[in-house]
Structure 1
Amino acid sequence: MSKRRRKKQQSNSLLGVITALVVFAGVWYFTGGQPSSLTDLFNQATQTITNSTKSISSNDKLADLNYHSGASSFVYVNHNKAKLNPQKWRINKVVYSNLDSLNRTSSGNLAYLEKRNLASDENRVRQYVEPTAWHQKFIDRQPIINRGHLIAYSISKGINQKGHYQPNDTSGDQNNPKNLFTQTAFSNQRVQTIYEQKIRTALKAGKRVIFFAKPIFRGKELMARGIHLEAISTDRSLNFNVYLFNVQPNVKFNYATGRSTIDRSMKVPNP
């Protein structure tokens, strides 16, 4: 990247920071804020700017990321551009990786999807597989973890556990140990579903999609720190590359085991 281009990007970022701070300061002034609230607004503005622009250049660094209360629940990888090659799409299938020595889905799965893989809620079946680090708990009467699917059942209709398309299998791949990990309810239902919906929208439009999903573990920990998702359609109109933190509001996890404790100071904003 040229020096001129870097300077332009830095100037744009600085302008964005100044604009955001002016807006927040204006709100503080006209609402009769106190100095302490101005500090809070400054921190909020800085956090917002950081979350919206942060991008990890390499997926090799994902396991080293630590989540901090109040931060964004996801970060972009490679500036939100998939490293998948859309020309590799050949046949409708899913490549399921074998479990590792700790029975974790640490290698990720690669799906080649098309419109016929779309499933509806009526295709749900009872789920019984318990992936590593499965220690369910209810807080405020709500479960804190889900059986997270690497390749969602809603986009895997007709795919059997060997990854082949079988038209009579209408439920999608819901109880395959090679396709599950212990995922927080927030990460699954509030964040990952956003990106799965992008894929569903592309498939409904008749596009073919390559989708890669990989839970990210740190060392020998049994609970994933997050999940790496990237997808691209063959016409490149769909293209994303993100890392989702495996976190839950009001909960602190021991990722070595998956056990948890209530921590009301843990805040995770909606994406």
Structure 2
Amino acid sequence: MKNYKRGRFARRILLVLIVLIGIAYLNRVTILQKIVSIGAQSQVVNLEKQSSTPTQTDELASLNYSGQTVVEINNNQPIFNKKELQFQQDGWQKLSSLDWLGRPQVANALLNQKLMPPSQKYKARERLTIKTPGYHAIKTGTNNTDWLYNRSHLIGYQFTGLNNEGRNLITGTRQLNADSRVNAKSMVTYETEVADYLHQSTDHYVRYQVTPVYKNVELVPRGVHMMAQSNDGTLKFNIYVFNVQDGWQINYLNGKAKRSE
């Protein structure tokens, strides 16, 4: 009888542990964010300082926005290697897996007219329903179309027709995604340049890479690193777009935001 009671007690303890582990896993992002919020001296907050050889992504994440949304990297020259610049006849796109926090990672493609979807004049684009990490529906004005955040595609919809795919969508400000101010540059500036080039000829190919840049365990990227190079070398760029919105303070850890004072 004693062995039976001990066995039943052990099973209950095991069941409780399984439930607690499950709860911790489902709430891992929130738990980690609470750890981070303890203070600037937290080891988690200062992960990037522990490395003696910071990567380019680390360096980009540490850049400070000073009023210019787009900045050139490496004198605007892309850094693809020879293997990455193999322009075969068939275009392709490759999306990385989400990381353990559910965040999209680098997206690569070899773009060509063959991959581009039909005009929206003939086929309506489906409504985006993916909830990207850190996304909040925050209005920036009285107009119902004025929102702080977009669900921003890494590889633009006009290139491959990929839409509701979580690996290809980040939480991006309107200023990052498609800034409508006069002479302002944003992701759409460079996407339009690539699209115009592709429309010129079926023989045009563009090696394309877009990388969301995160700082530590933040859910919202600090910016987006974009590189492109055409097969004839007439189109190329290497730029970083800050994920900011003038007049707003963004908490990149969880995506909450408020107007600047």
TM-score by length of 2: 0.69
Give 2:219's aligned amino acid.
L
Residues 63, 216 of structure 1: 8 Å contact kept: yes
Match of 1:27 in 2: none
Please tell me whether residue 76 in structure 1 is matched to residue 72 in structure 2: yes
Per the alignment, in what secondary structure is the counterpart of residue 177 of structure 2?
helix
Match of 2:110 in 1: 112
What's the offset of the Cα at 1:249? 2.0
Residues 85, 207 of structure 2: 8 Å contact kept: no
Residues 81-230 of structure 1 aligned to structure 2 (within 5 Å): 81-84=77-80, 85=82, 87-90=85-88, 91-105=90-104, 107-119=105-117, 120-122=119-121, 123-141=124-142, 142-156=146-160, 172-190=161-179, 191-206=186-201, 207-230=204-227
Structure 1 residues 179-207: Cα deviation after superposition (integer angstroms, max 9, x where no partner)? 01000011101210000011101101121
Give 2:95's aligned amino acid.
Y
Name the CA distance, whole Å, in 1 between partners of 2:57 and 2:256: 26
Per the alignment, in what secondary structure is the counterpart of residue 60 of structure 2?
helix
Name the CA distance, whole Å, in 1 between partners of 2:56 and 2:256: 29
Match of 1:236 in 2: 233
Rg comparison, structure with higher value: 2
How many residues are paired up?
190
Residues 57, 213 of structure 2: 8 Å contact kept: no
Per the alignment, in what secondary structure is the counterpart of residue 228 of structure 2?
strand
Match of 1:63 in 2: 61
Give 2:177's aligned amino acid.
N
Give 2:251's aligned amino acid.
N
What's the offset of the Cα at 1:60? 4.5
Aligned CA distance change for structure 1 residues 176 and 118 (closer, same or farther; 3 Å):
same
Give 1:112's aligned amino acid.
L
Residues 5-20 of structure 1 aligned to structure 2 (within 5 Å): none
Identity of aligned residues (%): 30
What's the offset of the Cα at 1:72? 0.6
Give the aligned CA root-mean-square deviation in angstroms. 1.6
For structure 1, list consecutive stretches of 5 or more residues without a partner in the other structure: 1-56, 157-171, 265-271
For structure 2, list consecutive stretches of 5 or more residues without a partner in the other structure: 1-54, 180-185
Name the CA distance, whole Å, in 2 between partners of 1:59 and 1:83: 14
Structure 1 residues 45-100: Cα deviation after superposition (integer angstroms, max 9, x where no partner)? xxxxxxxxxxxx955510111223xx211111111011124742223110110000
Give 2:176's aligned amino acid.
S
Name the CA distance, whole Å, in 2 between partners of 1:245 and 1:233: 24
Name the CA distance, whole Å, in 1 between partners of 2:197 and 2:216: 35
